[in-house]
Amino acid sequence: MLSYTAGEADVPLLDETIGENFERIVERFGDREALVEASLDGNAAAARRWTFQQLNDDVDRITRGLLAAGVAAGDRVGVWSPNCAEWTILQYATAKVGAVLVNVNPAYRTHELIFVVRQNGMRMLVLAPSDRNSDYVAMGREAAAECPDLTELIFLPVPAGSGISEFTAGEPSSREETTWEALDSRAEEVPASALSERAASLRQGDAINIQYTSGTTGFPKGATLTHRNILNNGFSIGRLLGYTEYDRVVIPVPFYHCFGMVIGNINAFSHGCATILPARGFNPSATLKAVQDFGGTSLYGVPTMFIAELALADFESYQLDTLRTGVMAGSLCPNEVMKRVITDMHMDDVAICYGMTETSPVSTMTRAGDSITRRTETVGRTMPHLEGKIIDAAGLTVERGEVGELCTKGYAVMAGYWDQPDKTAEAIDSEGWMHTGDLAGMDNDGYIIIEGRIKDMIIRGGENVYPREVEEFLYQHPSVQDVQVIGVPDKKYGEELMACIILKPGTEPLDATAVTEFCRGRLAHYKIPRYVEIRESFPMTVSGKVRKIDMREEAIDRLGLHG
C-alpha cells in the first residue's frame, strides 16, 4: 500500500470570507462572551471582557477607521505587538476591510522590521507601546523614515493593569502618526453602509494575511494566505476538537504566528467559543491562573510551554479541572510530557496538530478517541479536504512504513510567497503539492510519524539516525526535562551525535559517560551520543520549533570541529 491519504470530506468547506463568517457567529451568539484579556496585575476582576456583539461593534469601528484612513482592499497593514485584545480586533477589521494583515514578530529589531516593510510594501503599521525590551516607537519611526511606502504609524495604548514605568505609549509627532483611539474615532467619518459596500467586493480567494517564515536559513519569506485558507483550516480544527459555544480557549501562544491567530482566534470564533489571553507573552503561571480564573476548557501550547507549566513548583495548587482538551503543536512532543498533560492537566482530549505556515497551518491532526499511543507517537491523520503523501528523492510515493518527504495538497496550501514566484515554485510543485521538508512515515491506518527535518537527519558512518528516536529514548532518563539531538562533524564517521539536555530542577548533572551507560545495551551503538551538553534553554523559531541549525553551529565552534 502506498503512503497516500485523502482526508474526509463529509462536511463542506466554508464558502465565505472571514468577515461574513464572523457576522453569522455574532448573529447566533451575540450575547455570549467572546474575548477575555487578563489584567497584567493578575486581578481577575480587572480583566477586559467582550461579548461577541461588543467585539463586533469594536471591530466595525476600527474597520470604518481604516476606511476613513483610505485603506484599500489589498493594502498591507502590519501589526507589531505582543498578544493583546487590539491585535484580535485588528485581525478581524483588516479582514472586513480587505487589507492584507502582515504579522510582524515582536522580537524583531530595526533592520528586520525594515526588511519586512520593504518586502511587502506595507503602508500602515500598528505598533505596541515601548517596553523594557523593545522600543517599538523609535524603531517604527526609523522604519518609516527608511521606507517611503510606510506612510502611517498607529500607536497602541498601554495595557491595563501595568505599572507606569513598564510601558511608554507613542505620542504622535507628525501627520503620519496617530493613536489607536484616534483611529477608532475616525469611524464617525464613514457611514455604516460603506462597510457593506466593501464587504460585497471581497472574495474568499483574496489574500488576507502575510506571515513570515522563521528564516532558519537566509531571509524570511512571506507566506501569503487567503480567507479560504485560514477560515477553513481554523474551522476544521475546531470541528475535530468538538468545539461548541460553551468552550473557552486559553491562548498563550503568539498571535503573530498561525498558532495564535488561526488555531486560536479563527478556530474559536468560527464555533462561537470564547478566547482567553493570559498575558502579552508566554508566562507559565499566568497561563494556569487564566485557566483557573476564567474556566478554560481548552489550552494551547508548544511542548516547551507545557514542560514549563508542569515544572512550576506550585503546579498542584492550580485548579485545572475545567480543562478537557487543547492543542499541542509547533514541534514534536515527548511521550512523557504528553502523558502528564493528559493525566495531571485533565486534558483527556488534547490533540496533536502538525503543519507549517505555508499550509495555514494544520495539515494533519489526531482525532477524538485516538489512543494515547496515537497521540504520543504520531501527528495524526490528514485533515479533512486535504491530501497527503510521502515521497522518495525521485518524487515517487513510497510504500507504507518507509520514510520519505511529507507533502500536502488542497485548500490549505498558501497562495505563494509574497512577490517571490521563484521561491514559491521551489516549495509548491506543478501539481500543487507543498513540499514540507520533513521526513515522515505513514502506517497502515494513515497515521503520520514525523522523523524530523530532512536537513536534521544524521548520517553516521553510513547509518541514518533520526534524532527523534534518540530524543524519545533519552526522555526516559529521570534527570532529563528536555533534550535535542543534533549531528556534528566527525573525521572518521562523517557525523557524530550530540545530546543537548535541559535537566530537571534539583537533579545531578549528566555527562557523556553517564549517558553512554544509560544507552548501552538499549540503543544501537551508532545511535549513542558521543557528546553531551547541559543547557538552560534551546534557541527557538517564532513557531516554537527548536533551531537545530543554530545549535549545530554553536557546538562546532565550542568543540573546535571546523575542517
- Determine which helix (DSSP H) or strand (DSSP E) holds 327, and give its type and residue range: strand 325-328
In a domain, 293, yes or no: no
Residues 171/156, Cβ–Cβ less than 8 Å: no
pLDDT on residue 216: 42
CATH number, domain at 528?
3.30.300.30
Residues 510/474, Cβ–Cβ less than 8 Å: no
- Kindly give the pairing relationship between strand 33-37 and strand 274-277: parallel
In a domain, 152, yes or no: no
Instruction: List all residues 6 or more positions away from 445 whose beta carbon is below 8 Å from its beta carbon.
Output: 381
In terms of phi and psi (left: phi > 0; alpha: psi -120 to 50; beta: otherwise), the region of 253 is beta
Domain interval for residue 470: 457-559
pLDDT on residue 524: 79
Q: What is the pLDDT of residues 283-294, one digit of tens each?
A: 999 999 999 999
pLDDT on residue 230: 98
Instruction: List all residues 6 or more positions away from 115 whose beta carbon is below 8 Å from its beta carbon.
Output: 219, 220
Q: What count of residues does the chain have? A: 563
**Cell 494583515, located at residue:** 101
pLDDT on residue 563: 62
In a domain, 490, yes or no: yes
The alpha carbon torsion through 553, 555, 557, 563 (nearest 10 deg) reads: -80
Which residues in the chain land under pLDDT 50? 215-217
In 10 A of CB 196, how many CB atoms?
9
pLDDT on residue 155: 98
CA dist., res. 218 & res. 215, Å (int): 6
In a domain, 175, yes or no: no
Residues 450/472, Cβ–Cβ less than 8 Å: no
In a domain, 467, yes or no: yes
Q: What is the pLDDT of residues 316-351, one digit of tens each?
A: 999 999 999 999 987 667 778 888 999 999 999 999
CA dist., res. 21 & res. 175, Å (int): 35
Gyration radius of the chain over CA positions: 24
Sheet with 480-490: strands ordered across = 480-490, 494-503, 531-534
The predicted model scores a pTM of: 0.86
> Which three-class secondary structure state does DSSP give residue 207?
strand
- Determine which helix (DSSP H) or strand (DSSP E) holds 177, and give its type and residue range: strand 177-179
CA dist., res. 265 & res. 279, Å (int): 15
pLDDT on residue 254: 94
Instruction: List all residues 6 or more positions away from 447 whose beta carbon is below 8 Å from its beta carbon.
Output: 374, 378, 379, 380, 381
In a domain, 483, yes or no: yes
pLDDT on residue 541: 75
- The count of structural domains within the chain is 1
Helix-, strand-, coil-residue percentages of the chain, each rounded to 5: 35, 25, 40
In a domain, 107, yes or no: no
User: What is the full DSSP assignment across 43-104?
Assistant: -GGG-EEEEHHHHHHHHHHHHHHHHHTTPPTT-EEEEE-SS-HHHHHHHHHHHHHT-EEEE-
Nearest to 338 by CA among 314, 306, 312: 306
pLDDT on residue 509: 84
User: What is the full DSSP assignment across 344-398?
Assistant: HS--TT-EEEEE-GGGSSEEEE--TT--HHHHHH---EEPTTEEEEEE-TTSPBP
CA dist., res. 494 & res. 43, Å (int): 56
In a domain, 91, yes or no: no
pLDDT on residue 109: 87
Biggest CA–CA distance in the chain, Å, is 75
**Cell 516547551, located at residue:** 304
Q: Convert 228-256 to b/e letters by CB count within 10 Å (16 or more is b).
A: bbbbbbbbbbbebbebeeebbbbbbbbbb
pLDDT on residue 214: 61
pLDDT on residue 333: 76
Q: What is the pLDDT of residues 442-454, one digit of tens each?
A: 999 999 998 877 7
Interior CA angle at 286 toward 284 and 288, to 5°?
Answer: 70
- Determine which helix (DSSP H) or strand (DSSP E) holds 26, and give its type and residue range: helix 18-29
